[in-house]
Chain A
Amino acid sequence: MSLSVENLTVYYQTLQGQVRALEDASFNLADGEIMGLAGESGCGKTTLGFSLIYLTERMRYIKGKVRLNGQEVPVWDNKKMDKYRYEDISIIPQYAMSAMNPTKKIGKMVRDLIKGRGMKFEEIESEFLRRIKLTKLSEDILKMYPIELSGGMKQRMVMVISTLLNPELLIADEITSALDVSTQKAIAEMLVEFRDRQFLNSMIVITHDISILSQIADSIMVMYAGQLSEKGPKEKIINAPLHPYTKLLISSLPKIGIKIEEEKLSGIPGKPPLLLNPPVGCRFRDRCPVSFEKCKEVPPFVRVDEDHYVACWKVAEEHV
């Protein structure tokens, strides 16, 4: 078992109180598993990603355990996490591409990064160059400034840097969103290649774009309003989802081949609840077509099939 998360709960501190952004998340990742983490804005996927590696200023760890290869990881303590960060768990944050210091050449940036980890650049230099070439970047890139690179080049650069020390777990947050279609495909495929070459063990790919996940993920986990809704193998989630939210979400996605005159798709009326004072129980129940009395209690994230977990009383009823 690569990653094991148990009841992870993280809130945000604000002027008006605590925003309950992530509530009781429990799931596992197997060795080499690429899990897509999908959901709409405010569902908590970025919170989940960050809580595994670095608690930002307003984040408050409430409870939960995180284990990497059986060993507990002190996610509640940013200082203690220092030694795990980058070597065991690495993250490509959403803005990574645009966060490079524009006045530093790429080579200098990498050197500084490595030095900051207490290592010597020469130790990793040859492996670094090998991987650069693998991603079809030329060595010259080290002498260039970020502004001279295209989006795709920067993203590949970031991918190489983030996985240089072969982390156990890579968290990639919306790394394909700002790219052109052809670059998106190349980057997505590169993620898989990195896993295949064992530059990393398992991966969480956070995105709102389920179609990208349908191409590269092994499993997909769907979140709604801070709660986990469903996790399962990709084919199941896409073709036979069980959670009402997942079902509605998948069926609202237009595909090439569907015209409005032939098949009018529909969305989900309403909007997600505010997480300052979220509704008790299942947070989807107000928009759910099949919710009933029991939904006022939080449904547990239970196993309904091989590697397939759902948090829904209705589904639990039908699968008992």
Chain B
Amino acid sequence: MWPAGRWPKNMFKLENVSKVFKVGTFGGKELVAVDRVSFEIADGEIIALIGESGSGKTTIGKMILRLIDISSGSILYRGKDISGVKNDKLREYYRNVQGVFQDPFSSINPIFKADRIFETVHEEFFKKVPQAEWDEKVHQTLLRVGLNPEHILNKYPHQLSGGQLQRFLIARALLLDIDFLVADEVISMLDASTRIDVLNLLGELRELGLSILFITHDLSLGYYISDRSVILYKGRIAEMGETQKIFNHPLHPYTQMLLESVPQIDKAWEEEAILIEDGGEGVAGGCVYYDRCLNPDKDQKCLHQPPELVEVEPDHFVSCWHI
């Protein structure tokens, strides 16, 4: 996709972003949800943030959206650190960056009509725009996301389907003329027959210049839609880079395990699953994947030193001592 060795990355730059939660009574214990994650996002590209539960993917999405504060590091949006912005600056930020979440029925207040979400955007961001002009803009945006305004407006969320509601929510984000969208598991609650259409919509938006952080646990969706992928395990990046390179040539033991375990409709599972129970706590001070790693070269270094992300080929990074 990009000429080898050079790729434009000027929209987002995450530098050593970490998030530590205080848990337990009186916040005694600490939970490291995200551990020194760094990556970049360019204009007009879809990055798949792939991980299972506990990987930290949703937390990263929320930090980018400023719904959660970061514990350390910085998030640069077009060169400016937005990791602490508030009030007016935050609102400015939200004109460019928005999010859509997993459960469409939870994302829209069920006691009001669904199109109220557009009116609140009108009130908060476009107060000066006259109603008629705004209604026209809403109309156009709904068409753009593949909805028919006549069938959709003036209805309550429970009268619409999950697919329609997700498109609604995407339309809401587009009303703001954003250039970046965080899409957190946006199609996992939709039926199989509507999933792909919403996913295709995201692809179309990319063609128009929008960048998307596509958070998912589903590898095939990530492969289908993304230009680049970031594979997360327990808050650390295991592997990242151009999607095709990673999937065709996975180097990190975790990525390999994922690709072997994912059920694929045209390929039978080869080996039997080796179920190693998740230790839970993780290894302090070493590689987070140590407990479950099946790499024959696993050694003391893995146990005591967390591996660094190393570029093994252009746009393919792995954090493992033994590849």
Instruction: Return the chain A residue nearest B243 by Cβ.
Output: A259
Instruction: Return the chain A residue nearest B160 by Cβ.
Output: A271
Contacts of B68 in A (CB 8 A): none
User: Is the pair A150, B278 in contact by a Cβ cutoff of 8 Å?
Assistant: yes
Q: B152: CB under 8 A from chain A?
A: no
User: Is the pair A256, B192 in contact by a Cβ cutoff of 8 Å?
Assistant: no
User: Is the pair A259, B224 in contact by a Cβ cutoff of 8 Å?
Assistant: yes
| Contact flags A173-190 to B (C-beta < 8 A → 1, else 0) | 000000011111110110
**Which residues 249-298 of B have a CB within 8 angstroms of A?**
257-259, 261-266, 268-269, 272-273, 275, 277-278, 280
Contacts of A105 in B (CB 8 A): none
* The stretch of B15-23, B76-84, B213-221, B312-320 that contacts the partner chain: B213-221
| Contact flags A237-261 to B (C-beta < 8 A → 1, else 0) | 0100000000011101111111110
- Number of A-B contacts defined by CB within 8 Å: 118
User: Is the pair B200, A260 in contact by a Cβ cutoff of 8 Å?
Assistant: yes
User: Is the pair B262, A188 in contact by a Cβ cutoff of 8 Å?
Assistant: no
Q: For A181, give its contact among B199, B261, B277 (CB under 8 Å).
A: B261
Instruction: Return the chain B residue nearest A211 by Cβ.
Output: B263
Min CB gap A267→B, angstroms: 4
Q: A68: CB under 8 A from chain B?
A: no
Bound: A208/B257 CA distance, A: 23
User: Is the pair A184, B247 in contact by a Cβ cutoff of 8 Å?
Assistant: no
Q: B161: CB under 8 A from chain A?
A: yes
Min CB gap B101→A, angstroms: 18
Q: B194: CB under 8 A from chain A?
A: yes
Bound: A22/B221 CA distance, A: 32
Q: For B194, give its contact among A184, A259, A271 (CB under 8 Å).
A: A271
Taking each of A41, A186, A255, A260, which has the highest tally of chain B beta carbons within 10 Å of its own beta carbon? A260
**Which residues 268-305 of A have a CB within 8 angstroms of B?**
268-269, 271
**Contacts A252-B196, A266-B200 given; does A186 touch B191 at CB 8 Å:** no
Instruction: Return the chain A residue nearest B189 by Cβ.
Output: A41
User: Is the pair A184, B52 in contact by a Cβ cutoff of 8 Å?
Assistant: no
User: Is the pair B264, A271 in contact by a Cβ cutoff of 8 Å?
Assistant: no
**Contacts A214-B265, A215-B269 given; does A258 touch B224 at CB 8 Å:** yes
User: Is the pair A182, B196 in contact by a Cβ cutoff of 8 Å?
Assistant: no
Q: B99: CB under 8 A from chain A?
A: no
Bound: A189/B271 CA distance, A: 11
Q: B193: CB under 8 A from chain A?
A: yes
Min CB gap A314→B, angstroms: 19
Instruction: Return the chain B residue nearest A212 by Cβ.
Output: B263
User: Is the pair A266, B197 in contact by a Cβ cutoff of 8 Å?
Assistant: yes
User: Is the pair A253, B192 in contact by a Cβ cutoff of 8 Å?
Assistant: yes
Contacts of A208 in B (CB 8 A): 191-192
User: Is the pair B217, A181 in contact by a Cβ cutoff of 8 Å?
Assistant: yes
Q: Can you give 23 contacting A-B residue pairs, CB < 8 Å?
A: A40-B191, A136-B275, A153-B277, A180-B52, A180-B53, A182-B261, A185-B273, A208-B191, A211-B262, A211-B263, A214-B266, A215-B269, A238-B265, A252-B195, A253-B265, A255-B266, A259-B223, A260-B199, A264-B203, A265-B196, A266-B197, A267-B195, A268-B194
Could you tell me which A residues sit within 8 Å of B by CB distance? 40-41, 136, 150, 152-153, 180-186, 188-189, 208-212, 214-215, 238, 248-250, 252-260, 264-269, 271
